Structure 1
Amino acid sequence: MHLNSNLIFRNLAEGIFLLDKTGRITTCNAAASAITGYNEAEIAGKPFRVIDDCQDDPITLSNELDEALKKKKCVAEGWKLRKDRTRYWAEISYSPLFDDSEGLVGYCALLRDITEQKNKQFDLLESEQRYRLMVEQVGDYGIFMLDTKGCIVSWNEGARRIKGYSADDVIGKYFAIFYPEEDILNGKPAWELKVARSTGKYEEEGWRLRKDGSRFWANVVITAVYDAEGRLSGFSKVTRDLTERKMNEQALRESSDKYRQLAQELSVANSELSSVNRELEQFTAIVSHDLKEPVRTVRSFLYLMDQHVDQQKFDLLKLSIGKGIRAAQRMHELIDSLLHYSQVSKVGLQHQKLNVEDMIAEAIQNLNDAVEQSRAQIRVDTGVAFIYGDRVQLVQLFQNLLGNALKFTNGREPEVAVKSWLEDGCVRFVVEDNGIGISPENLDKIFEIFRRLHFASQYPGNGVGLAVCKKVVERHRGKIWAESAHGKGASFHIMLPQI
């Protein structure tokens, strides 16, 4: 730079000093005086280092001037000292000055007070350092940075504690090392970065791997990081180990399932207990009426026989003895029926695959004498090949239904149809007859034990057959009902699970 007498007055916003070849101040402008607190008269002739915070260091200034001479310019920063001894941060730009013959005559020093700007930088740097120290010391969260390609560039204490890797183990490696093999094969790590880049953040919970290969349940948040110009500079990744919470939730869920199952079992047991209570009530009614009735009859005829003996009416004894025997026989049949009914629930079910046609054929064969005597026509139309269940009890079920169809005919030749088909995942059976039918008001009563709708003199039996049918169907998780009208035959409908 060539010397110009007007240079000192240029750019009044900056402090301008003119120095001689040795670095002593020759003059300065008003802006320089305002910054330093020295007027021109006070500072002229003094070494330029008078404004330095460390005035006993002539070497630094000499080096800066030498560099300015070699490179035509030198910019330096540092703490400076005002006249009132207050410090400020300054930026100084040195330029050499030459005369017309290119001889060095001195230097021009442009001084700028950048204390406020520098303090902001210091504050930011200090804040960044505090943040970095805080992140590095956090133990409950794994916090680390990835570059734009997903490679790890920083690693904190929490990440080391959670994942088991040291910083030296992972810095520079692709972050997929924390993912199970199935996630890597599915491209999950790259997909997560893609989502974070497009939406700003990716968050999920899932299984991750520690250094020793063990799995842990993690909450993961990946956030895209951008620079001041809006360009992607990388990703921050925060990981929390939620394995304990996951295990507690799983234990709670298993416990809940266990108690739900227990509640269901208790509900079933309660239902069965209610059913048993109803049966006990029926048994009480039976004992109080049906069983007492033949006992009263036997007792009455024994009393009559005693009277006949006293009155020596021996010719009447045989009649009374016969009636007493018949009453005792009826009581015996009732007791056998009760035992048979109770055995249906006690015997364990044999769950086996049964041919439907063979099962119904066996029931018909067991009724062969009744079929021949009544000249019944039984038509079987099975649309289902097989069913799973207890062969003995299911044969008994159809045997009882067919037996009723043969019995309640009022003198007609019985016509019976047995049909089956699949319906709503179950097998539906229908047994239809052309018998005397059942009044609508009695359709629900006929399945009660010992419930009879006719006198024994009309239609023999003890009212146990349909009650046994109902119990067999219920034991096979099905349902049974009757449809009929008086005098128009009856149809019994059964729904059973096929398997």
Structure 2
Amino acid sequence: MRQRVRNSTVLSSLDSISEQQRFQLLVNSITDYAIYMLDPNGHVTTWNPGAERFKGYTADEIIGQNYSIFFTPEDRAAELPGRALRIAAAEGRFEAEGWRVRKDGTRFWVNAVLDPIVNTEGELVGYAKITRDITERKKVQDELENTRAALIQSQKLQALGELTGGIAHDFNNLMTVIAGSADFLLRKPDLPAAKRKQYLEAITETADRATTLTNHLLAFGRRQAIRPEVLDLNVRLDAVADVLSRTLGDSIAIELELDPGASRVEVDAAQLETAILNAAVNARDAMPEGGKLTLSTRSLHENGSDFVALGISDTGVGMPRDVAARAFEPFFTTKAVGKGTGLGLSQIHGFAAQAGGRAEIQSDEGRGTTITMILPRTEKEQAALTEGPAMSELPKGLCVLLVEDNPQVRDFAEGLLIDLGCKVIPSESAEDALERIGSNGIDLVLSDVVMPGMSGVEFARHVREEHPQVPVLLATGYSDEVLKNGSEFAVLSKPFGAADLSKAMAAVLDEHAREFRRRPSAAGRV
């Protein structure tokens, strides 16, 4: 009976107070949130116990103060308090998370909401501010993020260890062949011609394999300079299928499932064919008793963009789920030592990513594997196919300024240029080359890109500005500057031979043919 009388008394009291008093009673009963009011200029006009509990100010201390007192010095310097008021007034709400400062100077992480208050005439009369202390939640999130970062770092270190070991293993094998062959040639100058040819061919073939290995590494890391061209993927796969049928043997049947609507892509043709070959070789190894390899294309539309999905499917032994999950990692391989570098599938991953797409793998034990490269589709027209000669003819007596900081590479390039009938002025730096170019009748500049001091690109720009009649050909094995920003100059990839060099020089000279013909003939200079 007493309890019922007491409740009736409370209800009677609540009925007798105004709506504003009810609201104030509600606000004052909340201690987990800071709920207070600001005037139009951001000064505190009300203060609840929740605000006092985790901000540390009593109502007498804080009412009349500008609410910017709660912000960090950095946020005040960035004028965040005033900007928050303006955004709330203009957009009807401002919400953010960030650090705030208690009375004792300690910081806490909050979720803050700021709402404008307008009167019946629509005039701004102040703001309602609700702040929640979420420091503990942020602490948990930060610990989770730190744990995730530590795991990623651990995985990176593991991958780096595998990468380093793989590189050391494969390059040491390659260097053994090169060094051994060179040693025989140096120690036994009277070797029969046939034997000398055998060792020289071994050096050449091994150098080509080293180049391929390097290109695979660059492709995996998306650091390879690409030469995109528009290709009809269906036509290219039809041609590739003929090559694969001879390469993989009679025990493997090759089928094509081509979507007529999935055709043109803009990719590096050499990398594309390498990726297809890598997938096909893996498929062959997975079908030791023979089987079927299917090359397919299909149209794909994702996130408002059109793609072409290129699939390479086999009927081989397949992979366990944990192996398939690591298949694109560099140097990860289940093959025996000496049977593969572990870079084949990682090259596919790198090629697809560098082309603006992605690579996927689906495999089931006993049911085969499908590797899919999803490549952006293009509406550009395919360029006419042209095939140049093995060597290009160069003007007789061409004077070439060769800029290369590596003495061995400089000597090699100088020998090639002389063999092509050129007069060569070697220089070991861009700064030295700039001093020589004005007084030596230079017809063409061949410069490395990555050099100490002034880079090859910077040097080429100086040449273009100060000697616009002199064409420039840049050479590089890898350059972040060229890769990220492209190049306004012709670029020759290292390593290169006489045919590559002569064709690149001829192309550069053709572009400058009009200016070149205005100059005195280079013929007769020796």
**TM-score, normalised relative to structure 1:** 0.35
Q: Which has the larger radius of gyration?
A: 1
**TM-score, normalised relative to structure 2:** 0.34
Q: Which structure's relative contact order is higher, taking Cα pairs within 8 Å and 6+ residues apart? A: 2
